Amino acid sequence: AQRVTQPEKLLSVFKGAPVELKCNYSYSGSPELFWYVQYSRQRLQLLLRHISRESIKGFTADLNKGETSFHLKKPFAQEEDSAMYYCALMRTGRRALTFGSGTRLQVQP
Amino acid sequence: EAGVAQSPRYKIIEKRQSVAFWCNPISGHATLYWYQQILGQGPKLLIQFQNNGVVDDSQLPKDRFSAERLKGVDSTLKIQPAKLEDSAVYLCASSLEPGVANTGELFFGEGSRLTVL
Protein backbone atom coordinates (compact mmCIF):
# COMPACT_ATOMS: atom_id res chain seq x y z
CA ALA A 1 0.00 0.00 0.00
CA GLN A 2 1.10 3.55 -0.62
CA ARG A 3 1.92 5.97 2.17
CA VAL A 4 2.88 9.65 2.37
CA THR A 5 4.72 10.99 5.41
CA GLN A 6 5.14 14.62 6.38
CA PRO A 7 7.23 14.54 9.55
CA GLU A 8 6.67 18.14 10.64
CA LYS A 9 3.29 19.32 11.87
CA LEU A 10 4.46 22.90 12.15
CA LEU A 11 7.28 24.82 10.54
CA SER A 12 7.86 28.38 11.69
CA VAL A 13 10.28 30.68 9.87
CA PHE A 14 10.93 34.38 9.55
CA LYS A 15 10.14 36.33 6.41
CA GLY A 16 13.00 36.08 3.94
CA ALA A 17 14.31 32.79 5.35
CA PRO A 18 14.53 29.64 3.22
CA VAL A 19 11.79 27.07 3.58
CA GLU A 20 11.86 23.30 3.13
CA LEU A 21 8.74 21.23 3.78
CA LYS A 22 9.59 17.55 3.92
CA CYS A 23 7.66 14.75 2.22
CA ASN A 24 8.57 11.10 2.00
CA TYR A 25 6.57 8.39 0.32
CA SER A 26 6.39 4.65 0.02
CA TYR A 27 5.00 3.04 -3.10
CA SER A 28 6.21 0.06 -5.04
CA GLY A 29 5.32 1.51 -8.44
CA SER A 30 6.18 4.74 -10.20
CA PRO A 31 4.18 7.47 -8.47
CA GLU A 32 3.19 10.94 -9.41
CA LEU A 33 3.65 13.46 -6.62
CA PHE A 34 1.88 16.71 -5.88
CA TRP A 35 1.79 19.51 -3.36
CA TYR A 36 -1.56 20.93 -2.34
CA VAL A 37 -2.04 24.08 -0.25
CA GLN A 38 -4.85 25.41 1.89
CA TYR A 39 -4.73 29.09 2.82
CA SER A 40 -6.81 30.36 5.71
CA ARG A 41 -10.53 30.21 4.90
CA GLN A 42 -9.87 28.90 1.39
CA ARG A 43 -10.28 25.56 -0.30
CA LEU A 44 -7.62 22.96 -0.72
CA GLN A 45 -5.95 23.59 -4.07
CA LEU A 46 -3.14 22.26 -6.21
CA LEU A 47 0.17 24.07 -5.82
CA LEU A 48 2.45 22.07 -8.07
CA ARG A 49 3.06 18.63 -9.57
CA HIS A 50 6.39 16.96 -10.15
CA ILE A 51 5.77 16.03 -13.79
CA SER A 52 5.46 19.70 -14.74
CA ARG A 53 8.81 20.66 -13.19
CA GLU A 54 7.29 24.05 -12.56
CA SER A 55 7.93 26.81 -10.06
CA ILE A 56 4.74 28.20 -8.57
CA LYS A 57 4.82 31.26 -6.29
CA GLY A 58 8.57 30.67 -5.97
CA PHE A 59 8.12 27.09 -4.72
CA THR A 60 9.83 24.12 -6.34
CA ALA A 61 9.89 20.42 -5.55
CA ASP A 62 12.13 17.70 -6.94
CA LEU A 63 11.21 14.06 -6.93
CA ASN A 64 14.08 12.00 -5.55
CA LYS A 65 13.28 8.37 -6.27
CA GLY A 66 16.39 7.11 -4.50
CA GLU A 67 15.38 8.76 -1.24
CA THR A 68 11.62 8.47 -2.02
CA SER A 69 11.23 12.15 -1.21
CA PHE A 70 9.47 15.14 -2.70
CA HIS A 71 10.44 18.08 -0.52
CA LEU A 72 8.94 21.52 -1.18
CA LYS A 73 11.38 24.42 -1.19
CA LYS A 74 11.37 28.17 -1.43
CA PRO A 75 14.48 30.31 -1.08
CA PHE A 76 12.82 33.33 0.57
CA ALA A 77 9.58 32.89 2.50
CA GLN A 78 6.85 35.52 2.38
CA GLU A 79 4.14 36.13 4.96
CA GLU A 80 1.49 35.19 2.39
CA ASP A 81 3.01 31.70 2.19
CA SER A 82 1.55 30.93 5.62
CA ALA A 83 -0.82 27.99 5.05
CA MET A 84 -1.30 24.23 5.42
CA TYR A 85 0.70 22.23 2.89
CA TYR A 86 -0.16 18.67 1.94
CA CYS A 87 1.99 16.30 -0.06
CA ALA A 88 0.00 13.83 -2.16
CA LEU A 89 0.70 10.74 -4.25
CA MET A 90 -1.17 9.32 -7.22
CA ARG A 91 -0.72 5.67 -8.08
CA THR A 92 -0.06 4.57 -11.64
CA GLY A 93 -3.32 4.29 -13.53
CA ARG A 94 -5.43 5.80 -10.75
CA ARG A 95 -6.72 9.30 -10.24
CA ALA A 96 -7.43 9.48 -6.55
CA LEU A 97 -4.77 11.00 -4.33
CA THR A 98 -3.27 9.74 -1.08
CA PHE A 99 -2.44 12.67 1.17
CA GLY A 100 0.08 13.16 3.93
CA SER A 101 -0.98 14.60 7.28
CA GLY A 102 0.10 18.11 6.35
CA THR A 103 2.54 20.72 7.60
CA ARG A 104 1.49 24.13 8.79
CA LEU A 105 3.90 26.79 7.57
CA GLN A 106 3.98 29.93 9.65
CA VAL A 107 5.98 32.84 8.24
CA GLN A 108 6.61 35.50 10.83
CA PRO A 109 7.31 39.13 9.97
CA GLU B 1 -16.41 29.18 -13.32
CA ALA B 2 -18.44 27.92 -10.36
CA GLY B 3 -16.55 25.68 -8.00
CA VAL B 4 -17.55 22.46 -6.27
CA ALA B 5 -20.59 23.12 -4.10
CA GLN B 6 -21.26 21.28 -0.85
CA SER B 7 -23.99 21.44 1.75
CA PRO B 8 -24.58 21.69 4.57
CA ARG B 9 -21.43 23.48 5.72
CA TYR B 10 -21.93 22.42 9.33
CA LYS B 11 -23.92 19.67 11.01
CA ILE B 12 -24.16 18.60 14.63
CA ILE B 13 -25.88 15.32 15.46
CA GLU B 14 -26.10 12.82 18.29
CA LYS B 15 -24.44 9.44 17.90
CA ARG B 16 -26.63 6.83 16.25
CA GLN B 17 -28.45 9.52 14.24
CA SER B 18 -28.14 9.78 10.48
CA VAL B 19 -26.79 12.57 8.27
CA ALA B 20 -26.50 13.25 4.55
CA PHE B 21 -24.12 15.49 2.65
CA TRP B 22 -24.62 16.75 -0.85
CA CYS B 23 -22.08 17.66 -3.51
CA ASN B 24 -22.41 19.31 -6.90
CA PRO B 25 -19.16 19.03 -8.89
CA ILE B 26 -17.84 21.42 -11.50
CA SER B 27 -19.79 21.11 -14.73
CA GLY B 28 -18.21 18.59 -17.08
CA HIS B 29 -16.10 16.86 -14.44
CA ALA B 30 -16.65 13.14 -14.83
CA THR B 31 -14.81 12.04 -11.70
CA LEU B 32 -16.08 12.78 -8.20
CA TYR B 33 -14.44 11.96 -4.88
CA TRP B 34 -15.49 12.00 -1.25
CA TYR B 35 -12.71 12.45 1.29
CA GLN B 36 -12.88 12.36 5.08
CA GLN B 37 -10.55 14.68 6.97
CA ILE B 38 -10.26 14.11 10.70
CA LEU B 39 -8.73 16.95 12.73
CA GLY B 40 -4.94 16.90 12.48
CA GLN B 41 -4.88 14.44 9.60
CA GLY B 42 -4.77 14.66 5.84
CA PRO B 43 -7.79 13.91 3.66
CA LYS B 44 -8.56 10.19 3.32
CA LEU B 45 -10.39 8.88 0.26
CA LEU B 46 -13.75 7.30 1.01
CA ILE B 47 -15.11 6.75 -2.48
CA GLN B 48 -14.40 7.67 -6.09
CA PHE B 49 -16.99 7.81 -8.87
CA GLN B 50 -16.39 7.88 -12.62
CA ASN B 51 -19.65 9.28 -14.03
CA ASN B 52 -22.21 7.26 -12.02
CA GLY B 53 -20.06 4.18 -11.48
CA VAL B 54 -17.92 3.43 -8.43
CA VAL B 55 -14.18 3.21 -9.16
CA ASP B 56 -12.88 2.76 -5.62
CA ASP B 57 -14.76 2.36 -2.35
CA SER B 58 -12.21 0.20 -0.57
CA GLN B 59 -11.92 2.59 2.39
CA LEU B 60 -15.63 3.30 2.79
CA PRO B 61 -17.05 1.78 6.02
CA LYS B 62 -19.93 0.15 4.23
CA ASP B 63 -21.74 -0.90 7.37
CA ARG B 64 -22.62 2.73 8.04
CA PHE B 65 -21.56 4.85 5.07
CA SER B 66 -23.19 4.92 1.65
CA ALA B 67 -22.81 7.17 -1.37
CA GLU B 68 -24.49 7.52 -4.69
CA ARG B 69 -24.19 9.53 -7.88
CA LEU B 70 -27.31 8.50 -9.71
CA LYS B 71 -27.22 10.71 -12.80
CA GLY B 72 -23.47 11.13 -13.00
CA VAL B 73 -23.59 14.68 -11.67
CA ASP B 74 -24.60 15.39 -8.04
CA SER B 75 -23.64 13.03 -5.27
CA THR B 76 -24.88 12.28 -1.76
CA LEU B 77 -22.88 10.76 1.09
CA LYS B 78 -24.88 9.28 3.97
CA ILE B 79 -23.85 8.09 7.40
CA GLN B 80 -26.26 5.91 9.35
CA PRO B 81 -25.86 5.41 12.25
CA ALA B 82 -23.17 7.94 13.11
CA LYS B 83 -20.43 7.24 15.63
CA LEU B 84 -18.31 9.68 17.62
CA GLU B 85 -15.29 8.87 15.46
CA ASP B 86 -17.15 10.08 12.35
CA SER B 87 -16.61 13.68 13.49
CA ALA B 88 -14.64 15.17 10.62
CA VAL B 89 -14.78 17.43 7.60
CA TYR B 90 -16.20 15.69 4.55
CA LEU B 91 -14.64 17.02 1.39
CA CYS B 92 -16.03 16.56 -2.07
CA ALA B 93 -13.73 16.98 -5.07
CA SER B 94 -14.04 16.59 -8.81
CA SER B 95 -11.68 16.30 -11.75
CA LEU B 96 -11.63 16.22 -15.51
CA GLU B 97 -10.77 13.18 -17.58
CA PRO B 98 -7.04 12.58 -17.13
CA GLY B 99 -4.60 14.21 -19.46
CA VAL B 100 -1.03 15.38 -19.14
CA ALA B 101 -2.08 18.95 -18.47
CA ASN B 102 -4.55 18.23 -15.70
CA THR B 103 -3.23 15.04 -14.14
CA GLY B 104 -3.68 15.04 -10.40
CA GLU B 105 -5.64 18.27 -10.25
CA LEU B 106 -8.59 17.81 -8.00
CA PHE B 107 -10.95 20.71 -7.34
CA PHE B 108 -12.22 20.70 -3.79
CA GLY B 109 -15.35 22.04 -2.20
CA GLU B 110 -15.34 23.96 1.07
CA GLY B 111 -16.29 20.84 2.99
CA SER B 112 -19.04 19.81 5.38
CA ARG B 113 -18.00 19.79 9.03
CA LEU B 114 -19.71 17.05 11.04
CA THR B 115 -19.72 16.95 14.82
CA VAL B 116 -21.11 13.81 16.45
CA LEU B 117 -22.00 14.21 20.14
Q: Which of A55, A48, A54 is nearest to A75 (CA)?
A: A55
Supply the pLDDT for residue B99.
57
Please report the pLDDT score of residue B64 as a whole number: 97
- Measured between CB atoms, does B48 come within 8 Å of chain A? yes
Residue range A20-25: mean pLDDT, rounded: 97
Task: Report the share of chain A in percent with pLDDT over 70.
Answer: 100
**A6 or B104, higher pLDDT:** A6
Element (H, E) at B79: strand B75-79
pLDDT score of B100 more than 50 = no
Q: What is the largest CA-CA distance in chain A?
A: 43
CB A102 within 8 A of CB A85: yes
How do residues A28-41 score in pLDDT, each as one tens digit?
888 889 999 999 99
Cβ under 8 Å to B: A residues 42-61? 43-46, 49, 51
Whether residue A5 has pLDDT greater than 90:
yes
Distances (CA, A) of A52 to A94, B13, B24, B74, B102: 18, 44, 29, 31, 10
Average pLDDT over residues B26-35: 92
Question: How many alpha carbons fall within 13 Å on the CB side of residue B94?
Answer: 23
**Contact between residue B39 and residue B88 where contact means Cβ atoms under 8 Å apart:** yes
- Cβ of A96 within 8 Å of Cβ of B40? The answer is no
Does residue B89 contact residue B111 with C-beta atoms inside 8 Å?
yes
Chain B residues close to A43, C-beta within 8 Å: 3-4, 108-110
